[in-house]
């Protein structure tokens, strides 16, 4: 990277790490509570004689599991006195980078609110390759978000599920049961460099995680994070392609 480039350097707040840990902890507690209390089953009823096509169920399970997660958060926020400090839940739109926005209020800290953008990833327990190199987000979009807001919190919520069927002989229907059996929560900014890879396919390329079930943490600043992403992009597409994006998305300072 040329020393002559005048970068826009994002500087996060002094308490970003604390805010990130707070959000990750609360999300984990909410999902863990839903699983342990038995609120982790999704029922899908079908009149197909063979029941659900289990060999392809992973193709359709994702949206069901994402909807389940949204519902769990909505159940919590409906209780204004909930113990998780969750005050608002909003579903993402179709083309958003995230599936859910969660807003928390920090306890004993007047006027302090934290927004977390959550990307829900569903993986099948019984499929060995499930969770390998899932697309997380576009390189240009996520880098731009961190320039616009150095305190941007992008959370990956990984939900592991299994599916089985039960025949209801009374009505001749088959119940397909999707059961959420495990979870993990990561702040993308702190996912280790070794666990993040760049796939040049699709637009400006996709940021991926090598194996969503096994992720190491690496504490870093926002500036260190975007530099790491830049390094992976440039190794694949070259510095000139990076510079063209930098000008287009205004990641650098230029005289007008």
Q: Model confidence at 176, in pLDDT bands (50, 70, 90)?
A: confident
Q: Do residues 158 and 65 lie in contact, with contact meaning Cβ atoms separated by under 8 Å?
A: no
What CATH class has 16-248?
Answer: alpha beta
Which residues face 187 on adjacent strands? 155
Calculate what percentage of the chain has a pLDDT beyond 70: 89
Among 89, 78, 70, CA closest to 31:
70
Task: Identify the pLDDT of residue 117.
Answer: 97
Q: Model confidence at 110, in pLDDT bands (50, 70, 90)?
A: low
Mean pLDDT computed over 156-185: 83
Task: Identify the pLDDT of residue 143.
Answer: 97
Q: Do residues 51 and 174 lie in contact, with contact meaning Cβ atoms separated by under 8 Å?
A: yes
Task: Identify the pLDDT of residue 104.
Answer: 95
Which residues face 208 on adjacent strands? 135, 197
Task: Identify the pLDDT of residue 97.
Answer: 87
pLDDT digit string, tens, across residues 2-58: 568 889 999 999 999 999 999 999 999 999 999 999 999 988 877 777 667 766 676
Task: Identify the pLDDT of residue 47.
Answer: 76
Mean pLDDT computed over 180-209: 94
Mean pLDDT computed over 166-193: 86
CA distances from 234 to 198, 228, 231, 237, 240 (A): 10, 10, 5, 5, 8
Task: Identify the pLDDT of residue 256.
Answer: 55
- The full set of domain ranges for the chain reads 16-248
pTM score:
0.90
Q: Rg of the chain over CA atoms, in angstroms?
A: 20
Q: Model confidence at 253, in pLDDT bands (50, 70, 90)?
A: confident
Task: Identify the pLDDT of residue 177.
Answer: 82
Q: What's the burial of 19, exposed, middle or buried (CB within 10 Å: 0-12/13-18/19+)?
A: buried
pLDDT digit string, tens, across residues 67-88: 999 999 999 999 988 999 999 9
């Amino acid at each position: 990277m040329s020393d002559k480039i005048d970068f826009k350097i994002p500087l996060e707040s002094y308490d970003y790490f604390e805010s990130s840990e707070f959000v990750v902890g609360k999300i984990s507690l909410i999902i863990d509570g839903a699983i342990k209390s038995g609120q982790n089953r999704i029922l899908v009823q079908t009149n197909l004689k063979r029941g659900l096509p289990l060999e392809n169920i992973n193709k359709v399970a994702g949206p069901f599991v994402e909807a389940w997660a949204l519902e769990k958060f909505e159940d919590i926020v409906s209780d204004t006195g909930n113990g998780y400090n969750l005050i608002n839940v909003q579903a993402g739109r179709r083309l958003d980078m995230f599936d859910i926005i969660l807003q928390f209020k920090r306890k004993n800290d007047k006027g302090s609110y934290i927004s977390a953008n959550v990307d829900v990833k569903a993986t099948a327990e019984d499929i060995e390759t499930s969770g390998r190199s899932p697309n997380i987000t576009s390189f240009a979009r996520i880098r731009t978000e961190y320039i616009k807001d150095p305190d941007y919190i992008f959370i990956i919520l990984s939900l592991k599920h299994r599916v089985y069927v039960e025949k209801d002989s009374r009505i001749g229907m088959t119940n397909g049961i999707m059961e959420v059996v495990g979870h993990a929560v990561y702040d993308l900014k702190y996912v280790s460099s070794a666990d993040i890879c760049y796939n040049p396919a699709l637009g400006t390329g996709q940021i991926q995680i090598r194996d969503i079930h096994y992720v190491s943490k690496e504490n870093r600043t926002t500036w260190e994070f975007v530099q790491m992403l830049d390094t992976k992009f440039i190794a694949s597409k070259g510095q000139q392609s990076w510079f063209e994006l930098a000008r287009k998305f205004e990641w650098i300072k230029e005289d007008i």
